[in-house]
Amino acid sequence: MIEISTDLIKAKKILENNDLVSIPTETVYGLAGNIYSETAIKKIFETKKRPLFNPLIVHIHDKEALTNVAIEIPKNAAKLASYFWPGSLTLVLKKNNNIPDLITAGKDTVAVRVPDHPITLALLKSLQFPLAAPSANPFGSISPTTAQHVADYFPNNLSLVLDGGKCQNGIESTIIGFEENKAVLYRLGSISVEEIEAVIGAIEIKNNNEDAPNAPGMLSRHYAPKTKTLLVNDIANEIQKYKGQRIGLLLFKPNKELFPNTITEVLSETANLKEAMSNLYAAMHRLDKENLDLIIAEKFPNNNLGKSINDRLLRATKN
């Protein structure tokens, strides 16, 4: 049986014992294990049913610990780390030799970040090793943003979720790597492209498998509810086509038109992108439990965090 608690001592013991704990972060909950324990890392892949070609993110407690994990840190990487850590930025850097191949899927790079959550920072400080932590969901499904989401996914094959409340940002970190010393964005996330560019200037985006062989795991279908999902510009028009069906609506902001006989989730009453992002996955989890025929999501304005939200919604619509 899984336990939801704030018992840091217990979490530490489990992790030191080569087992897994789900940890809160400001983005989504992670499924964490000791990066140096082959037993723990194998368990992460097994528990998530994640393919071994998809590498994990290493979590460290501060940027001084980076040199234990990565080498040859480009100037702009150091600049981004100083600016955004602790926070929702993952850097892909040349790996230190002591990082096991299982973590990096055999690549010579490693993904690393300092998460911005007091409980998890305290846990990381108390440990002698960094934590590898993918999002705590079965491979391909919606990431968890509450401890209960994690418990619902893994009632029997995980013993502890550290409860850190609702994740503030609500979608995964933004991933940035370096190709010939130039910054490249591999995953849109809870720090916007505009915020990154304000620090290091224009950045190339390569966020799907076709143009990013360097970022395995950026699969087109991901973050997906079990219910068939559509992403549209005009909800009122689209909904006409599905008369008589059980429809769930995922709206950015309140809509003057009433949609009778639908279950509607409004992500932000005040059309605030950050608030909508923080509510997105929980709303998707709720709609997915309603036995709907279809979820229709409204496209977001395609800038700032709207671009990151559209990325997740688009991946949720793929079969």
Binding site for ligand TXA (CB under 6 A): 25, 27-28, 30, 54-57, 90, 92, 104, 107, 109-111, 115, 133-135, 172-173, 175, 177, 186, 214-218
Query: Of these, 135, 173, 279, 308, which contacts Mg ion (CB under 5 A)?
Result: 135
Which of the choices Mg ion, ligand TXA, none does residue 56 contact, using the CB cut-off of 5 to 8 A by kind?
A: ligand TXA
Q: How far is the CB of 188 from ligand TXA (least distance, A)?
A: 12
Q: Which amino acid is at 299?
A: K
Q: Which is nearer to ligand TXA, 133 or 250 (CB)?
A: 133
Which of the choices ligand TXA, Mg ion, none does residue 66 contact, using the CB cut-off of 5 to 8 A by kind?
A: none
Question: What residues does 207 pair with on adjacent strands?
Answer: none
- Please give the backbone phi and psi of residue 232, each rounded to the nearest 5 degrees, phi first: -135, 160
Name every residue whose Cβ is closer than 8 Å to that of residue 9 and which is 6 or more positions away in sequence. Answer: none
Which of the choices Mg ion, ligand TXA, none does residue 186 contact, using the CB cut-off of 5 to 8 A by kind?
A: ligand TXA
Q: Which is nearer to ligand TXA, 74 or 217 (CB)?
A: 217
Q: Which is nearer to Mg ion, 55 or 74 (CB)?
A: 55
Q: Which is nearer to Mg ion, 251 or 316 (CB)?
A: 316
Q: Which is nearer to ligand TXA, 142 or 239 (CB)?
A: 142
H or E stretch at 176: strand 174-179
**Number of neighbouring beta carbons within 10 Å of residue 118:** 11
Which of the choices ligand TXA, Mg ion, none does residue 30 contact, using the CB cut-off of 5 to 8 A by kind?
A: ligand TXA
Closest CA to 125 of 15, 22, 28: 15
Q: How far is the CB of 134 from Mg ion (least distance, A)?
A: 5
- Sign of the alpha-carbon dihedral angle for 184, 171, 14, 47: negative
Using DSSP's 3-state secondary structure scheme, residue 232 falls into: strand
What is the contact mask toward Mg ion in residues 89 to 128, using x (rule: CB under 5 A)? Answer: ----------------------------------------
Question: What residues does 112 pair with on adjacent strands?
Answer: 58, 91
Q: Which token pair is 30?
A: 């992670």
Residue 317 binds to Mg ion (criterion: CB under 5 A): no
Query: Residues 178, 74: contact at Cβ < 8 Å?
Result: yes
Closest CA to 274 of 132, 196, 164, 167: 167
Total of chain residues touching Mg ion, rule CB under 5 A: 1
Q: How far is the CB of 315 from ligand TXA (least distance, A)?
A: 12
Using DSSP's 3-state secondary structure scheme, residue 93 falls into: strand
- Span interacting with Mg ion, options 65-73, 98-106, 135-143, 294-302, rule CB under 5 A: 135-143
Name every residue whose Cβ is closer than 8 Å to that of residue 22 and which is 6 or more positions away in sequence. Answer: 29, 30, 31, 32, 136, 144, 147, 150, 154, 158, 160, 161, 162
Q: Which is nearer to Mg ion, 220 or 245 (CB)?
A: 220
What is the DSSP-derived secondary structure letter of residue 135? Answer: B
Which of the choices Mg ion, ligand TXA, none does residue 310 contact, using the CB cut-off of 5 to 8 A by kind?
A: none
Q: Which is nearer to ligand TXA, 129 or 242 (CB)?
A: 129
- Per CB under 5 A, contacts with Mg ion among 198-217 are none
For residue 15, CA distances in Å to 39, 135, 247, 282 come to 11, 17, 43, 27
Q: Which is nearer to ligand TXA, 35 or 57 (CB)?
A: 57
- Which residues of this chain interact with Mg ion, rule CB under 5 A? 135
